Amino acid sequence: TLAGEEVDFVLVKDNAIVQMIEAKHSDNNISKSLYNFNQKYRLPGVQIVKQLRTERMVGEIKLMNAVNYLESL
């Protein structure tokens, strides 16, 4: 965006965004960009974190352990 916001990945099916993905090593705070895109466009989002102890929902955004997320694909 013009404001410099971005997410790491976007899953697309039939030319429609299915999910936005932000990947982090150890940050368990939701990315500002992911949050802003979720609020503005009402798109599903997930932040995957390599070193995450507790998975949870933050509003409409899933905060997930990276291994668990990848195993669920």
Task: For residue 56, report the phi and psi dihedrals to the nearest 5 degrees.
Answer: -165, 170
Q: What is the pLDDT of residue 73?
A: 86
- Per residue in 48-70, pLDDT (tens digit) is 999 998 999 998 999 999 999 99
As a whole number, mean pLDDT of residues 11-18 equals 96
Is residue 4 over pLDDT 80? yes
Contacts of 57 (CB under 8 A, 6+ apart): 63
